[in-house]
Amino acid sequence: MTIPAGRLTTPIRVVGGLVGALKRCEVALEKERTPGGLWYMRRLDWQLEGRKLFTTRRMEHHQEILLLGSRPPSSPPPPPPDTGVKH
């Protein structure tokens, strides 16, 4: 499930635009449901564009989360591996 989490519709000016301004900001999330019925964040993407004094800054971030070997919280933990040592 992809969710458009947010978008900047008008620029944000810092001290009337003299110190800086945020011109563009977009955030998107993708959620996924586990077999146990829990939701987790699968992907997060964001882009920023702004100005700090006289320097223009552009930043992008992409994060992807993979659940490997996950199990529902209600299931018991797996038994420890057999090492062959007897007590």
Secondary structure (DSSP) of 3-40: EEEEE--S-EEEGGGTSEEEEEEEEEEEEEE-TTS-EE
pTM: 0.57
Residue entry with tokens 């999330």: 29
Query: Where is average pLDDT lowest: 26-35, 37-46, 63-72?
Result: 63-72
Tell me the average pLDDT across 63-81.
65
Q: Decide which of 67 and 26 is more confident.
A: 26
Write down the pLDDT at residue 4. Answer: 63
Asked if residue 66 has pLDDT above 80, the reply is no
Task: Report the C-alpha gap between 87 and 82 in whole angstroms.
Answer: 12
Tell me the average pLDDT across 60-84.
68
